[in-house]
Homo-oligomer: A and B are copies of this chain.
């Protein structure tokens, strides 16, 4: 795929007739970001240098409303948390000529690393094969900062850092967030996380107390439920359709909340994965998001927007024999085609957005970031300082060398478009296999528009053992039969938000991201075979082998 042209500048025409960009409201031209960056001094990039995301924003946000305060939801733990006391000493480090015998940071003299190099794709040549052939070697030296070779190096990144993450990567992440989401309130910012799993854990410890109930999709990420339960926070599932959460269902639930019957105060937290939801693959439309945001305003609900799959939004699905939709022709078109985030609608500062590099760069980086109001960010950072600390400096250096110094924002958008097109292909493989092999009278699905998951509904009432056997027994039998046929898919019941609710639906989740195309095809063929056998249906006519090339 050729690299697309640069993002187009939205411009305003002034009275002189000359076209000039509007620095306040025009989307940032992504390749201009480096030019717009504030002048920096070496000292701000040093070891464990404190950094504030707000200083890395490039547009003015002064004209926007301030975020609401969330004191009424803070846990005891969050409300008594203090700043790290040893930082009191840091303010004297700026004194000219001062010799610090204060902080116990080890000297980088004792880090046994002289140089780190990575072979990574050149922009526009992103596949594994291309990277082997035309990959670029990027290198971090130990003392690049002192030697004016770079603003980030081994000596700095491999030492202690701040809970907020390294200034270098925090700048990049803040710029990216401003470029993509431009939150419509004044005092937003970012802080690094060690991944969104930890992010959710820390947000829950900040905003909940035992006995609370958190809302979520009725089928949800099992780890989220398992993070919440030991904190005494139960998860209440909200009804969904193909576009995910139903705002009316939330309104109903909260308008009629019975504290006694429910055994917990009225929920003030919504955990949602708006894009390519796990496990259902559902993506909330723009209208759906606006309605959800409104209902959360009505009931004063804080939204935890967990968005690992945001950039796994794919091309529209056109069906087996229709031509593909052409890829986005520019960064502007690419960004415009993304469903807007809840963060981008957040005039109250009630969204805590969790972003992650896990699905678009590497889960093994354990680097993500949180975007929220200054009040919540400060608490998060203080907690990070005495628990997780910032993400591994080794990871931060690797990501920064790739994303900032090598690719830049432009190159990263190109990479994201590459991912978009690759996932589209994979998604199409599984959908075409499903259309070919699955008995449509018992299996139905909605083509996923984003994410990693294909969610298949089973009409369990057609099962020969229904209603003599319970729905979960039938689900287990189908699951085991699929295993016997040589495929592993996930049982829908593993994803119940609340396992004690009664469920009258049956689903299986398949992913199209891990196996190569021919295995996906064969895996679905086996799944179809197993379902047919379970339901006593005729076998697929050409079902005796691989269907490669069809």
Which A residues form the contact surface with B (CB < 8 A)?
Answer: 76-78, 80-82, 84-86, 88-89, 92-93, 95, 97-107, 109-121, 126-128, 131-132, 135, 142, 157-161, 194-195, 197-198, 201-202, 210, 222-223, 226-227, 229-232, 278, 358-367, 383, 385-389, 391-398, 402, 415, 419, 422, 430, 452-453, 483, 486-490, 494, 510-515, 519-520, 522-524, 526-527
Contact = CB atoms under 8 A, between A and B. Distances in A.
A197 B367 contact: no
A372 to B, nearest CB: 18
A255 to B, nearest CB: 31
A78 B229 CA distance: 11
Contacts of A92: 483, 488
Given A88-B494, A105-B513, A364-B394, 10 more contacts: A102-B490, A102-B511, A112-B121, A113-B362, A114-B132, A116-B119, A201-B387, A364-B392, A366-B394, A394-B394
Contact of A486 (B77, B97, B135): B97
A120 B112 contact: yes
Contact of A391 (B111, B358, B366, B486): B366
Contacts of A100: 487-488, 514-515, 523
A212 B197 CA distance: 28
Contacts of A513: 104-107
16 contacts: A76-B210, A86-B490, A93-B488, A98-B487, A101-B514, A102-B488, A104-B452, A109-B422, A110-B360, A111-B361, A113-B398, A116-B117, A201-B387, A363-B393, A364-B394, A366-B393
Contacts of A232: 76-77
B366 A514 contact: no
A242 to B, nearest CB: 20
A361 B113 CA distance: 9
A86 B223 contact: yes
Nearest to A422: B110
A112 B510 CA distance: 25
A232 B81 CA distance: 10
Main secondary structure, interface of A, reads: mixed
A362 B102 contact: no
A158 to B, nearest CB: 4
Contacts of A362: 111, 113, 158-159, 393-394
Contacts of A131: 112, 114
Nearest to A225: B85
Contacts of A398: 113, 116, 394
A195 B364 CA distance: 16
A540 to B, nearest CB: 16
Q: Which of A78, A117, A202 lies at the interface centre, i.e. has the most chain B CB atoms within 10 A of its CB?
A: A117
B222 A389 contact: no
Contacts of A113: 118-120, 362, 398, 402
Contacts of A519: 99
A398 B231 CA distance: 34
Contacts of A198: 387-389
A388 B388 contact: yes
A81 to B, nearest CB: 5
Given A118-B115, A158-B365, A363-B105, A526 B389 contact: no
B361 A490 contact: no
B197 A386 contact: yes
A510 B103 CA distance: 8
A101 B522 CA distance: 11
A278 B80 contact: no
Contact of A230 (B81, B88, B89, B121): B81
Nearest to A157: B364
A246 to B, nearest CB: 24
Nearest to A139: B117
Contacts of A510: 101-102
Contacts of A430: 101
Given A106-B359, A223-B386, A128 B142 contact: yes
A285 to B, nearest CB: 23
A162 to B, nearest CB: 12
A453 B109 CA distance: 18
Contact of A386 (B107, B201, B365, B522): B201
A63 B296 CA distance: 60
A400 to B, nearest CB: 12
Given A128-B142, A394-B395, A86 B227 contact: no
The 5 closest A-B pairs by CB, nearest first: A364-B393, A158-B364, A99-B523, A392-B392, A201-B387
B195 A98 contact: no
Contacts of A159: 362-364
